[in-house]
Amino acid sequence: MKKFKLITTITCAFLMLLTLNVNAQNFKGLDKSPMDAASFPSDYKVSDKLIKIVYSRPQLNGRALNELAPNGKVWRTGANEAAELTLYTDMKLGDTNVKAGTYTFYVIPGDTEWTAIISKDLNVWGSYFYNEANDVARLSVPVQSGEPLEAFSIAFEEAEGGLHMHLGWGTTRIAVPFTK
């Protein structure tokens, strides 16, 4: 009887250990370009948003901006997945009406201006499969300079008739105007 109890106890302990190993999760470490989001209004307590963008935030780490976002080439506006733009109300990018919905937001960097692109593509990794035929709107915006930023950043600011989506990295700044 004692032998039976000992075998039962050992078997139960072994099964518990086996179960623990089966249920253990392997969580990966922090992403080198963590995902972030910017919205307007930016107050997290306000649920009635006009616009939101979800993007990853690469860092320069001693590299030149044009190495990571080459001039004249479509860029995913961040790292990893292409930036995902959600409009919660119909808006305009330049003279083009854009219906409320979720889109991919690309840019084409340049020395003096960047082209902002709203595309109907979704769930896109990088800009490798960018298709101009799926563009909903495009707008060229001038490049400005600012204090150096190590990590790519996006912020919104209210502007007359709408808002500006500010993109900044290194000393490069652009303001993409959206109007209602």
> Domain limits of the chain?
31-179
Per-residue pLDDT for 20 more than 90?
no
The 10 Å CB-count burial string (b at 16+, else e) for 98-122 is beeeebbbbbbbbeeebbbbbbebe
Provide, rounded to the nearest whole percent, the portion of the chain with pLDDT above 90.
73
77: left (phi over 0), alpha (psi -120 to 50) or beta: left
Provide mean pLDDT across the span 107-124: 96
pLDDT of res. 11: 58
- Predicted confidence at residue 7, as pLDDT, reads 61
Please report the pLDDT score of residue 31 as a whole number: 80
Structure-model confidence comparison of residues 28 and 24, the more confident one: 28
